[in-house]
Structures are given as C-alpha cells and as structure tokens.
Amino acid sequence: MASSTQHGQNILTAVDAGILRVEINRPEKKNALTGAMYQALTEAIELANDRAEIRVILLHGQPDVFTSGNDLKDFLQEPALDDDHVAYGFVRAISRAVKPIVAAVNGACVGVGATLLLHCDLVYAGQSATFALPFVNLGLCPEAGSSLLLPFVAGRARAAELLLLGEPFSAARAEACGMVSAVLPDGDVLAHAQAQARKLASKPPAAMRASKALLRAGIASGVEEAIRTESHEFQRRLQSPEAKEAFAAFLAKRPPDFSRFT
Ligand code: COA
C-alpha cells in the first residue's frame, strides 16, 4: 500500500512497493537545502533503516534541478558551526544508510547535492545535468567525505581539478569520474531509476543489506574520519571573511572580490 508524507512541502516522501521515494521540492530556490530539509532527509533515511518493508530509497529532485546544495542564505544567517547541526547529521545518516539508495539527477547538482551522490549506490543522470563542487570558490572546503571519496572513485588528479577549481562539469564527466552509474536522455532518468529501484526491491533483502555494507566496508572508517575532519575545517571556513564575502556576493548577484584577503 502507498503512503506519503509532506515535510513542509520541501521534502516529499512516499512508500510504495518497497520503495521509499524522496523528492526534493523547493524549485523556487533551485532546491537549495535548508535545516528543515536536512532534518526531513535524515528522518527519511532513518525510516528506511527501521522499517522492514522499505527495501530501497529513491532520491530525486525536479526535472530542471536536483539541488543547488546548501542554502547560501542559511550559511550566512544560521551557519552549521557544530557537529550537532542537522546538515552534519544528514551527512552521517546517508553515509551509514542501511538500505540501498538510487539517485535520479536532472539539472543542476551542486555542492552537497553532488557529494551526497558519493554515498548513493546507483546514480542516474540526465545528459544535460550539470555538476559543481564550488567549495573553494565559496571560501569553504570539501565536505561529506568527498576529500576521501572523490579521489577514491575519480583518482586524485581528477578529484583535485573538480574540488580545487570548482568549475561546473557535465554528466559525461561525472560518469567518467565514477560519480554516476549511467547517463541517460533527460526525460528517461526518473523512470529508469525507478525501474532499477524496483529490481533492487525484489531481491533478497538481507543479502542486499550485507552486500551494500561490504561494498563500503573497506573505507567506511576512513569516510567517518574524513567527515569529522572536514566538518571541523568547514566550521572554521564558514566563519571566515572569505566565505562571508562569497555568500554575500552570491545573494547580491555580483562577482566576489577576494583581492583583499591574504
Ligand atoms: N542557496 C540559496 N538560494 C539559492 C541557491 C542556494 N544554494 N541556489 C539558488 N538560489 C536562489 C537564487 O538566489 C535565486 O533566488 P531569487 O529568485 O530570490 O533571486 C533562485 O534560487 C534561482 O536561482 P538562479 O541563480 O537565478 O538560477 P539559475 O538557473 O540561474 O542558476 C544555479 C542555478 C544552481 C547554477 C545557481 O543558482 C547557483 O550557482 N546556485 C548556488 C550554488 C551553490 O554555490 N551552492 C552551495 C554549494 S556549497
């Protein structure tokens, strides 16, 4: 039987045929993630961990945007300055998720939107999806374990380009870097991800959970450590004049000026 919940409308969830569908739904702000949205995403993952009838999580955004990452206004007004902040809670939850996660990515996929994919199991992207890891450009640093996971999946040289230059990159590049399982015509992504989720949901659940865990076990403790180390640096960076200039520039729709910083 299907059931659905609306978390303040910005995160929509529905359970049907063993699949917990989680939709990011804040199109007017390009699906930027607020504290309440991180909390709702964390609760969705915990629900899947706890409920036997949920076999798979299917995560997606809107046809033109997956998510533009953390809400930059929140970074200024309610920065995540300790490990108990809901944003870090979400990162810990997705990195420890028990059930497989299938992601369907259309449109922009920025910041934590892209790094969360490194914790998903199957990732399908539309051919015109665009990715970016603009942490340095924002005066920040890599998060969500990406300083370890991206070199692991993409190789150090490619990870350094993506994380240090922070330039947008295509779905084809994301696939070449090991962040995406397959690139599909834009209009086919969600249906394909749903079909793959149905396949996963039909398989023996204990074998699935064990196999997902084994695929991550080799670097799981390193990922936990990376998430902790990164978050402490991220907290320092969030309070830096560089970051404040970057966020203010974005919100004022002007280019940032880092020339006065040493
Ligand atoms: N935080 C807060 N607001 C955001 C946002 C974010 N991460 N991303 C987009 N928005 C808001 C914009 O401020 C704008 O709001 P307004 O209509 O009140 O002016 C609205 O969403 C539409 O965004 P816009 O930039 O006009 O859309 P676009 O299609 O031209 O570009 C993006 C889309 C995603 C490429 C662009 O919005 C972007 O680069 N966003 C910031 C991404 C980012 O740096 N994320 C943080 C990573 S750590």
Q: Distances from the Cα of 140 to the Cαs of 75, 133, 164, 210, in angstroms?
A: 11, 10, 11, 35
Contact 118/105 with Cβ under 8 angstroms? no
Distance between CA atoms of residues 49 and 100, nearest Å: 10
The atom of ligand 1 lying closest to the CA of 108 is 34
C-beta separation of 53 from 11 below 8 A:
no
| Ligand 1 center to 72 CA (angstroms) | 8
Structure token digits, residue 163? 């994380």
> Residue 82 — φ and ψ, nearest 5°?
-145, 165
The pLDDT tens digits for 32-50 are 999 999 999 999 999 999 9
Q: Which atom of ligand 1 is nearest to the CA of 64?
A: 29
Average pLDDT over residues 213-239: 97
83: CA distance to ligand 1 center in Å? Answer: 25
Q: Percent of the chain at pLDDT above 90?
A: 94
| Model confidence band, residue 7 (pLDDT cutoffs 50, 70, 90) | low
Say if ligand 1 is within 6 A of residue 115 CB. Answer: no
The pLDDT value given to residue 1: 40
By most ligand atoms within 8 Å of CB, the mutation choice from 30, 88, 140, 240 for ligand 1 is: 30
For the Cβ of 60 lying below 6 angstroms from any atom of ligand 1, the answer is no
Residue 229 and residue 54: Cα distance in Å, rounded? Answer: 32
Residue 185 and residue 126 in contact, taking contact as beta carbons nearer than 8 Å: yes
Q: Kindly report the average pLDDT of the chain as a whole number.
A: 96
State yes or no: pLDDT of 4 exceeds 90: no
Average pLDDT (100-113) is 98
Domains of the chain (ranges; CATH) run 3-186 (3.90.226.10)
For ligand 1, whether the C-beta of 26 sits within 6 Å is no
* pTM beyond 0.85: yes
Separation of 170 CA from ligand 1 center, angstroms?
A: 18
Q: For residue 46, report the distance from its CA to the centre of ligand 1, in Å.
A: 29
